Amino acid sequence: MSSLLVFPGQGAQQPGMLHRLPKATVIEASEVLGEDVLLLDSTQALKSTRAVQLCLLIAGTAAARSLLQQGCTADYVAGLSIGAYPAAVVAGALRFSDALHLVSLRGELMQQAWPQGYGMTAIIGLDLATVEGLLAQVHSSETPVYLANINADNQLVIAGSDAAMNAVAELAKGCGAGLAKRLSVSVPSHCPLLDEPAQVLAEAFAKVPLKLPTIGYLSGSRARPIRSVEALREDLAFNMCRVVDWRGTVQSAYERGVRLHIELPPGAVLTGLARRVFEQGTVIAFDGARLDTLQALLREEGRRQP
């Protein structure tokens, strides 16, 4: 049997999240960026896309480093959107210092692309085909709106202009959606609206050395392992403009024998989603659990025979 570490995306951020972490990684991040990163996790600072993404990178990396000590290891990593960056760091494919600079640029590019009037909305209670039909009714050059995330069979996220998302939300409620909720994300991620910033980020990535992952890296957009450096480079650079298939990613891990799913900080949103897929095994979040308990689970899973 196998284990999977997962890293959340934007929307999971919490004020004060960096202040609860082991200090070494926080200090390292501050030195690399030339700024005090502890100033990035205030309620006001987290209104910035750059700050949010850096906080999620630092939090995921710091927690995973503390977890993977004393002989503990994991078989797979996966990250939702920005979560792919700490996943790549933990897999040994991307240096933490390079990840910090790339994520800083990524956040700035996304923030500048659509500074206002755009975002993301979760629609719960409708299937994919129904939501795609609603998007087709509303989408136009004046009211752009796209499918962004497939989180579960009946939990989808759309991205686009405020007017377009509001129109889709009203239609969704009329079709029986249980909830249509605007997310705390100020950028229309995972859709063609971010094609141009993704291309700029890809140019920066071309100058950064990557290595083959030493832990299996599952792409959150492709829902399958990435096994070459060039494929990983492309996956990380362009995931901002591609649909996230998180349902497929978790299902892919389960089908590969994963029976231990640990969500790195902050929060437990991905834990709730994974429980729909994991008919057997353990699904748990780092937040709220004892470190020695999580390490014991990793060791136990590593000893299990398939």
Which residues are tagged catalytic? 81, 190
What residues pair up with 258 in beta bridges, in sequence order? 2
DSSP letter for 23, please: H
Looking at the chain, how many residues does it have? 306
Q: How far apart are CA 221 and CA 232, in angstroms?
A: 12
Q: Which helix (H) or strand (E) holds 164?
A: helix 162-174
d(CA 271, CA 275): 6
- For residue 28, the 8-state DSSP code is H
136 vs 223: CA distance, rounded Å: 25
Name the β-bridge partners of 237.
none
* Pairing relationship of beta strands 155-161 and 118-124 according to DSSP bridges: antiparallel
Q: Please give the Cα distance from 300 to 278 (Å, whole number).
A: 18
How far apart are alpha carbons 249 and 186 in whole angstroms?
Answer: 25
Distances (CA, A) of 215 to 100, 144, 254, 284: 20, 38, 16, 20
